[in-house]
Amino acid sequence: MDTKYKGTKPSRRSFLTGALAAGGAAVGTTYARAQGAPDPAITETQPWRQFLGDGVDAAPYGMPSEYEADVIRRRVPWLTADAVSSINFTPLHELDGIITPNGLCFERHHGGVAHVDPAEYRLMINGLVEKELVFTMEDLMRFPRENHVYFLECAANSGMEWAGAQLNGCQFTHGMIHNVMYTGVPLRLLLEEAGVKTNGKWLMVEGADAAGMNRSIPIEKALDDCLIAFKMNGEALRPEQGYPVRLVVPGWEGNMWIKWLRRIEVGDEPWHAREETSKYTDLLEGSIARRFTWEMDAKSVITNPSPQAPITHGKGWTVLTGVAWSGRGTIPRVDVTIDGGKNWHQARMSGPSLDKSMHRFYFEFEWDGSPLLLQSRAHDSTGYVQPTKEELRHFRGENSIYHNNGIQTWYVNENGEAENVEIS
């Protein structure tokens, strides 16, 4: 437990190790660390080396190591009135690569998790179609399927940061996002099955949960790349992600991805549902509010170091990493600064670069132990470059709540502790 640091401050032990490294080894070498006494982790025999471990089937559904017990979703209790209509956050600072494990995908429910029996699952298409249809799970499983990796970001991600730096941790500032490989049937095929009439220009999609969550989607998007998904990362959707069926609306704000999807109505106009008028609209200055702000603008965040993941090894070779994404395409490039934007460096992209998916970037550097101001800025395939928070506020003021894709700053002090700040 105490060998794996998880707190907000570097532990005494790791701090001492850092001091030892600084004093005993020349900066720039990694092997020459002074070692006073033999390491008991090597010279003593651990129980797992001597005694037999669990056999197969000790965990028929495997779980993470007991040492990873604090890699969990967390919520901010003061954000919402109760836990039923609330949100929690993906622990981005604990993850790497681009795929979010199913159990760590953030949750946002408007009426709690619906526990839908797949045997009683029905999907209805009605409205301006040639044939109003009902599908069972079995029917859906007989359509041709596709696999795609997409990020899902809540429109309110970073929403608490509009007026200034508030929360210490990328889990809380940026954790309303996950990135998953979906298996599903193109929505286009179901609409072709029903036959959309020529005046069918909009869909209303609706969930089977206690909120009856509903949103309007233009037909062009529905016919383009939306999926009726039933698997995430290869296994059935988790209940909290819409089991047995959710809608996937690539690149667009998360609450359009209706979970527990039960009905699709085709119409000639949008519905102006509660979640696209009173909520999920962007209040600008002068009382003007933007609606139908569907696409998520390009965004990035440094996940390590960050307030929940400080530098614990002292100065020397340091791995900086983070994630970037855009609702309009891929991320060919991310720039990183460690001096608050005086100088920028092109980060190293690693892992697949997929349309409307999270991308992973790295920047390795020699930390000299002086304070750092870390930022990342994403460039997407349309040429759009992630703006600063100040630039965003210029267009939107401070009350829009949603769609905050401004550049995040972490201040790292001499001890390696990180804090959420804003800079000039």
Partner 1 sequence: MSKFLKIFAPAATGAAGMLALAYTAADQFIVDIPAPIREAIAINAAVAEEARAEAEARAAELAMAGLAPSSDGGYGLGRGALSEEVAAWDTDVRPDGHGLPVGSGDVFTGEEVFVERCAMCHGDFGEAVGRWPVLAGGHGTLEHEDPVKTIGSYWPYLSTVYDYVKRAMPFGDATSLSDDEVYAITAYLLYVNDLVDDDFELSNENFQDVRLPNEANFIDDDRLTTEFPAFVRPEICMENCKDAVEITMHASVLDVTPEETAAKAAAAAEAAAAAEAAPAAAVEEPAAAEPTEAAADAGPSAELIAAGEGVFRQCRSCHQVGEGARNATGPALNGVVGAQIGAVDGFRYSNTFKDANEAGDVWSADRLAEFLADPRGSMAGTKMAFAGLRTQEDIDAIIAYLSTFSR
x/- mask, partner 1, residues 60-89, rule CB under 8 A, reads ---------xx-x-xxxxx-xxxxxx----
Give strand pairing partners of 345: 336
Interacting residues of 3 by C-beta distance below 8 A, sequence separation 6+: 13
Between residues 316 and 337, which has the closer beta carbon with respect to partner 1? 337
- Binds partner 1 (CB under 8 A): choice among 11, 238, 344, 352: 344
Interacting residues of 274 by C-beta distance below 8 A, sequence separation 6+: none
x/- mask, partner 1, residues 302-321, rule CB under 8 A, reads -----xx-------------
Q: Please report how close the Cβ of residue 342 comes to partner 1 at its closest, in angstroms.
A: 6
Which ranges of 68-195 would DSSP assign to H, the alpha helix?
137-140, 170-174, 187-194
Between residues 290 and 348, which has the closer beta carbon with respect to partner 1? 290
Give the DSSP H/E element, type plus range, for residue 395. helix 389-396
End-to-end CA distance of the chain: 40
Helix (H, G, I), strand (E, B) or coil at 251: coil
Q: Please report how close the Cβ of residue 181 comes to partner 1 at its closest, in angstroms.
A: 13
Q: Please report how close the Cβ of residue 47 comes to partner 1 at its closest, in angstroms.
A: 19
Between residues 20 and 393, which has the closer beta carbon with respect to partner 1? 393
Q: Please report how close the Cβ of residue 87 comes to partner 1 at its closest, in angstroms.
A: 13
- Binds partner 1 (CB under 8 A): choice among 29, 277, 370, 413: 277
Number of residues that bind partner 1 (CB under 8 A): 111
Tokens read off for 341: 């934007």
Name the amino acid, one letter, at 326.
Answer: S
Among positions 402-421, residues that touch partner 1 (CB under 8 A) are 411, 419-421
Q: Which backbone phi and psi does 228 adopt, to 5 degrees?
A: -95, 100
Among positions 186-225, residues that touch partner 1 (CB under 8 A) are 186, 188-189, 192-193, 195, 204, 206, 210-212, 214
17 binds partner 1 (CB under 8 A): no
235 binds partner 1 (CB under 8 A): no
Buried b (16+ CB within 10 A) or exposed e, 142-164: eeebeebbbbbbbbbbbbbbbee
7 binds partner 1 (CB under 8 A): yes
- Of the candidates 155, 173, 156, 153, the one whose C-alpha atom is nearest the C-alpha of residue 164 is 173
3 binds partner 1 (CB under 8 A): no
Among positions 109-138, residues that touch partner 1 (CB under 8 A) are 110-111, 124-127, 131-135
Q: 160 — alpha (psi -120 to 50), left (phi > 0) or beta?
A: alpha
Between residues 30 and 424, which has the closer beta carbon with respect to partner 1? 424
The C-alpha R_g of the chain, in whole angstroms, comes to: 24
238 binds partner 1 (CB under 8 A): no
| Cβ count near 366 (within 10 Å) | 10
Q: Which backbone phi and psi does 396 adopt, to 5 degrees?
A: -120, -5
Cβ proximity of 260 and 266 under 8 Å: no
Q: Please report how close the Cβ of residue 108 comes to partner 1 at its closest, in angstroms.
A: 15
Between residues 188 and 238, which has the closer beta carbon with respect to partner 1? 188
332 binds partner 1 (CB under 8 A): no
Q: Please report how close the Cβ of residue 315 comes to partner 1 at its closest, in angstroms.
A: 21
352 binds partner 1 (CB under 8 A): no
Helix (H, G, I), strand (E, B) or coil at 161: helix
Between residues 97 and 164, which has the closer beta carbon with respect to partner 1? 164
383 binds partner 1 (CB under 8 A): yes
Cβ proximity of 132 and 125 under 8 Å: yes
